[in-house]
Structure 1
Amino acid sequence: MSNALTKTEFNFPGQKSVYHGKVRDVYNINDEMLVMVATDRISAFDVVLPEGIPYKGQMLNQIAAKFLDATTDICPNWKIATPDPMVSVGIMCEGFPVEMIVRGYLCGSSWRAYKSGVREICGVKLPEGMKENQKFPEPIITPTTKAELGLHDEDISKEQILERGLATPEEYALLEKYTLALFKRGTEIAEKRGLILVDTKYEFGKHKGTIYLMDEIHTPDSSRYFYKDGYQERFEKGEPQKQLSKEFVREWLMDNGFQGKAGQSVPEMTPQIVESISNRYLELFENITGEKFEKSENTDIAARIEKNVNEFLKNKNK
């Protein structure tokens, strides 16, 4: 099995700080730019799993870059360049402490809540009598707080966001507008690939008074896709949908007694399991983008990234 990059400790020119997230390591360059490294770490239930997944970071970074470029007419985004297959460099923004989650279908955590009797999520009332994987009449926005590493994100309503001053009414109206427009574009692109964009999340921040779309978009880590072919038939029969998302990792963990709760242990990630997850991400990449995945050289990933980013920063400062 190929190498996986699970940890980075770079020291780039002008570097002021580094933030290690669940999957991405973000380097602050002179309080002006961020160098975001998509590592091969994988998380589920807000827990970083013990093994990295080869090429996952490259796949996520390249999918996100493609969709950021395909949505610049909807709203400005943070991306400036992708100097390495696993790296995006962008404008440093002050992030809103919420994630804008948008759902087109009742599934995943929203279905688990609905099945247990919940009829309101994040202040949004849900109709009675819905079934798993059923399409909502209109997409719904169910934001969460953006938790610190090791803590769980929590559902939050629009009213609570405004009450806590996490965004002004004008800012939140724009976040909602961008979220729904991006989801519509993502849905249209997915449809051309024979896919259904089920749900996803967006993160936004401000730079010099302007709101920017940040981070990744429409990747299998931040989104769930169904195959369009056979969706209706499976739905009518109450069968599980064939999907492209990270849900298969969550399902494997749940089948092995792990849901991120206290006292639970992550099941052993054998080389076979790691390879199967990598292959599933490859399938995701090629289906979502419609392009063949070209594996980057990965004998010394950290050295390659350091060289490419240093060259980019040197040329940027000329």
Structure 2
Amino acid sequence: MSQAIKETYFNFPGQVGFYKGKVRDVYIFEKELVVVASDRISAFDVVLPRAIPFKGQVLNQIAAKFLKATSDIVPNWVTAVPDPNVTIGKRCEPFKVEMVIRGYLSGHAAREYKAGKRLICGVTMPEGMIENDRFPNPIITPTTKASEGHDEDISKEQILAQGIVSSEDYSILERYTRALFERGQQMAAEMGLILVDTKYEFGKFGKEIYLIDEIHTPDSSRYFYADGYEENQKNEMPQKQLSKEFVRQWLISNGFQGKEGQEIPEMTDEIVESISDRYIELFEKITGEKFHKATTEQIEKRIENSILSHLS
């Protein structure tokens, strides 16, 4: 099996801090961030015990493609992608909200709807919808960025009342979110896909707002196959998805949903390889490009040298 990057422990000249996220290792410099997309995989807010070869490369390269393709809409944090698993960019001050936008009644919104709720994050959902129906217009359902545990739903009114984001900045975030989602849906349609919902994160560098983090990846977005969508809706059948939902479904079928007392099922070599293959399939379907596996021999050395070469 190919090697995978579980975690990194580099120490670079000029580094002032380090942050280990669920799946990324972030090296902090005075004005820059160096982000290593590891091969860790999380589901139900739990990092699973085994890393998935090429997963980090898949997400890093999808994000790089879409950030470049949307840079005419909003400036983004990226200044270099010196390695298939590394992105370097401006050290922005993040807004403490994630801008979630939904074009369809799916996922969390569908669960709320089934529970009888018609209001989500202060936005009214129409009556008479079934799961995966398209909303008349995309809805923005923000969440607060939790430093630990689950992000929480929050309304625009609460964000403004609590002073989390100023009214002026929030209107810019909304405008950027809608424009990015429209571009993402157009690009998905060209690949025979539907971009169902996604989330964007923004930050400030000086006084300017930048798009930060990854965008339109299968970890941050939900895609349906366009072919068969109408037929499935008419017959109230599940939609064929392109996201990491298949990982969640494998865990659920093996008795794990991240709840207390539940044990993560054994991840055999076969399971790990099949997840890796699915991520590569996701890359090729979303981007329309052939995936080229980076060398995994001395993988950490390769990444460290790429970063050092950029820093020098």
TM-score norm. by structure 2 comes to: 0.98
Q: Which amino acid is the alignment partner of residue 151 of structure 2?
A: D
Task: Identify which of 226, 245, 248 aligns with 2:246.
Answer: 248
Matched residue of 1:173: which SS? helix
Report what 2:17 is aligned to: 17
Q: How does 1:80-229 map to 2 (within 5 A)?
A: 80-149=79-148, 151-229=149-227
Q: Which amino acid is the alignment partner of residue 68 of structure 1?
A: L
Q: Which amino acid is the alignment partner of residue 112 of structure 2?
A: A
How far did 1:240 drift?
1.3
How far did 1:174 drift?
0.5
How far did 1:263 drift?
2.1
Coordinate RMSD, CA, aligned: 0.9
Q: Any gaps of 5 or more consecutive residues in structure 2? A: none
Q: Any gaps of 5 or more consecutive residues in structure 1? A: none
Length, aligned pairs only:
312
How far did 1:262 drift?
2.1
How far did 1:264 drift?
2.0
Report what 1:289 is aligned to: 287
Matched residue of 2:234: which SS? helix
Matched residue of 2:309: which SS? helix
How far did 1:277 drift?
1.0
For 1:164 and 1:313, locate their aligned partners in 2 and report how far apart those are by CA, in whole Å. 39
How far did 1:107 drift?
1.0
Report what 1:273 is aligned to: 271
TM-score norm. by structure 1 comes to: 0.96
How far did 1:131 drift?
0.6
Report what 1:264 is aligned to: 262
Task: Select between 257-266 and 10-19 the one with higher mean Cα deviation.
Answer: 257-266
Q: Which amino acid is the alignment partner of residue 26 of structure 1?
A: V
Q: Which amino acid is the alignment partner of residue 58 of structure 1?
A: Q
How far did 1:182 drift?
0.2
Q: How does 1:21-100 map to 2 (within 5 A)?
A: 21-29=21-29, 31-100=30-99
For 2:180 and 2:69, locate their aligned partners in 1 and report how far apart those are by CA, in whole Å. 10
For 1:290 and 1:244, locate their aligned partners in 2 and report how far apart those are by CA, in whole Å. 14
Q: Which amino acid is the alignment partner of residue 54 of structure 1?
A: P
How far did 1:280 drift?
0.9
For 1:27 and 1:82, locate their aligned partners in 2 and report how far apart those are by CA, in whole Å. 14
Q: Which amino acid is the alignment partner of residue 196 of structure 1?
A: I
